[in-house]
Amino acid sequence: MEMETAAPAIEIGLNAVIVAVTHPTPMVLAIDGAQAGEPESLPFGPFDPLHHRTLEIGLRDWVKQQTALRLGYVEQLYTYGDRGRHAQPGDTGPHVVSVGYLALSRQSPEAEEVLARARARWRPWYDYFPWEDWRDGRPAMLDEAILPALEHWAEAPAKDGNTALGAARLERLHLAFGGEGSPWDEERALERYELCYEAGLTAEAERDGRPMADGYTERPYLGRSMQFDHRRILATAISRLRGKLKYRPVIFELMPNAFTLTELQRTVEAISGRHLHKQNFRRFVETTELVEPTGATTARTGGRPAALFRFRRQVLRERPAPGLRVGAR
């Protein structure tokens, strides 16, 4: 008689990349590590099928309970179920499958006390991906640290006779970081992080036992690390949001009800990581009728009173892709 074996235990969790913009800097909500010196993590909560009819309802519920934040736009990113995501040496606990979400919010003074109790804080997302911020020009770390190491890693297989693998790595490198005729594409944030991880350049790669490219003995500092695969989830959210800007008006989920065109431009720049030409941006926003004047002005810009605008919601019924297809300067 064959003995029945117990089915492997699986838990479903919900990871949230909660984004807000302030000053204007793109911020994500991060949870402090349980022990001193441990990396931060993304907010995470279990899915309770007895109390939540859908995954998104579960997400909104525990985020509200744990952070006092009311989420606006919410979108499912991906399901992360690789073995070892949350496992520790000797761990016999259930396998954790996480459903990642991108959620947009606005920083709330009322929520700060709740966030502090939950060991949560707003952190600039460029702390985790400093090479993604091109608002003041091409980041020096690309040419000083990242690209030399990645090129060395990409060329290594060919030196050992595996020319096909070397060519494939170089093609991925040029597509992700630009070069050899390929422009820098802000939407490829996930691909850039994954290349850095594969080449053993990140702290997560060191934690997972991935060796560095031959010839390198010290990993460069490539931004703050996160627990488990949470920085990969964050990179996925950055890529998705940057792409979404171009065909959906999600940027207005991050804006106050009334805003100046300068504030709108700086928020778009903060998310995309690119500097935009002021006159071209204003001409585009006005001709596409994404916004309408409120009739009021504000002096909070520090100069002459600036006109206040609001999102013109009728545009959602007028055309299918009312996004911000604007180019960099």
pLDDT per residue as tens digits for the range 10-31? 888 899 999 999 988 999 999 9
Please give the share of the chain, as a percent, with pLDDT higher than 70. 91
211-266 pLDDT, tens digit per residue, is 887 767 788 899 999 998 999 999 999 999 999 999 899 999 999 999 999 999 99
The per-residue pLDDT for range 144-160, each reduced to its tens digit, is 999 999 999 999 998 88
Q: Taking the domain 247-318, which CATH number applies? A: 1.10.10.10
| Residues forming beta bridges with residue 27, ordered by sequence position | 20, 124
Lowest mean pLDDT among 93-107, 182-196, 256-270: 93-107
Residues 6+ apart with CB under 8 A from 22: 107, 122
- If we measure between CA atoms, which residue out of 10, 24, 3 comes closest to residue 255? 24
11 forms beta bridges with 96
Evaluate if residue 174 carries a pLDDT over 90: yes
Residue 186 has what pLDDT? Answer: 97
Given pLDDT bands bounded at 50, 70 and 90, which one contains residue 3? Answer: low
Residue 103 Cα to chain centre, angstroms = 10
CA-atom Rg of the chain in angstroms: 22
CA 89 to CA 74: how far, in whole Å? 34
At 178, is the pLDDT very low, low, confident or very high (cuts 50, 70, 90)? very high
pLDDT higher than threshold 90 for residue 108? no
CA atoms of 7 and 17, how far apart (whole Å): 31
Domain 11-128 belongs to what architecture? Alpha-Beta Complex (3.90)
Using CA atoms, how far apart are residues 29 and 22, in angstroms rounded to an integer?
A: 13
In the 8-state DSSP scheme, what is residue 97? E
Going by pLDDT thresholds of 50, 70 and 90, the confidence category of residue 48 is confident
- Which residue ranges make up each domain of the chain? 11-128, 131-223, 247-318
Residue 76 pLDDT class (50, 70, 90 cuts)? very high
- The Cβ of residue 163 has, within 10 Å, a number of other Cβ atoms equal to 11
Residue 45 binned pLDDT confidence (cut-offs 50, 70, 90): confident
pLDDT at res. 263? 95
Look at residue 99 in the predicted model and tell me its pLDDT: 93
Q: Is the pLDDT score of 113 beyond 60?
A: yes
DSSP 168-233: HHHHHHHHHH-BTTBPP-GGGHHHHHHHHHHTT-SHHHHHTTPPPPTT--S----S--BSTTHHHH
Q: What is the DSSP letter of 322?
A: -
